[in-house]
Amino acid sequence: MLLHGFCTFVSSCIYKAAGDKVVISFDDAKLQEDNELRWTHNKQRVYLKKGSQIKLNKLNVSEDGSLILETVQKDKSGEYKGIIYDAEGNLIKETIQQLCVLEPVPEPTVMVECVEKGVNLTCSAVNNDEVVVSWMKNGMKANVTHAVLHVSSSELKSGDNFSCTVSNKISKKSAKNVEPVCSDTGPKRFLFGLDLWWMLVILTGGGSFLLILFIICLVWVCRCCRRNKRKAKLTSSHPLLASYK
């Protein structure tokens, strides 16, 4: 077989979102009626036409020889190779293209975990290596590209807000801002020498216990007062007891 007008085109990966329509063409090549057309996907033949006869038709092909993928899915990723021969079997055009089908990234959220001497912020929606993460602190880009951002207590100020952005080759989405608040961050307030937070816990969570204790003490004081009054009255009404005292 002689090679005539040989031309091969190899492209880098074509990134498409799942559900998109993809057309893989030969660019300027014109398919003639008596030409032979072959298409393979990952070296498996998916289309074959010889002259006017279609021998194999697993995927759609247009009149000009372009391969058409409707609502493409991830299983259609891979190498596509198309070849055109003339009626004598001479190679006219060859193209090889790599297709990469990706799912759009979901909308992320920032999860806050208070830890010793700081806070851990985790960006969700990071489920594979093709997703890139970036962080923003108070509207300024932070120099962190992994899913977990650790902020120490000394770095975290009141009112600081954080957000993360996830992206891949076909989509990009950002999370809503969060303002992490942990008990060991920011200025501490004290009441009677105790942390105000713990005082509030005591006064709210232990309120019932303190009320019962107060009532018991009040009843005990009232009984003591009554006993003292009775004793004083009894002493004044008996001269012998008063003289003995």
For residue 49, give the CATH number of its domain: 2.60.40.10
Domain termination site, one of 186, 215, 236: 186
**Domain check: are 90 and 162 in the same one?**
no
Residue 3 lies inside a defined structural domain of this protein: no
81/140 Cα distance (integer angstroms): 45
65/39 Cα distance (integer angstroms): 9
- Which spans in the chain are helix H? 196-205, 207-237, 239-244
What is the chain's Cα-based Rg? 41
Number of domains in the chain: 3
Instruction: Report if pTM > 0.85.
Output: no
How large is the average pLDDT for residues 149-158? 92
Helices 196-205 & 207-237, crossing angle to 10 degrees?
A: 70
Domain termination site, one of 64, 80, 102: 102
**Domain check: are 135 and 85 in the same one?**
no
Q: Is the pLDDT of residue 161 over 90?
A: yes
pLDDT, residue 206, reads: 57
pLDDT, residue 202, reads: 53
Its domain, for residue 66, covers 8-102
Residue with tokens 């009232």: 222
Q: Is the pLDDT of residue 46 over 60?
A: yes
pLDDT, residue 194, reads: 43
pLDDT, residue 1, reads: 38
**Domain check: are 91 and 49 in the same one?**
yes
**Domain check: are 92 and 19 in the same one?**
yes
Q: Are 94 and 83 in contact (CB under 8 A)?
A: yes
Residues 6+ apart with CB under 8 A from 151: 118, 119, 121, 160, 162, 180
Q: What is the pLDDT of residues 3-20, one digit of tens each?
A: 444 444 445 899 999 999
* CA atoms within 13 Å, Cβ hemisphere of 89: 2
Nearest 10 degrees: CA dihedral of 219, 222, 226, 227? 70
**Domain check: are 43 and 129 in the same one?**
no
Q: From 8, 22, 100, select the one nearest 59 (Cα to Cα).
A: 22
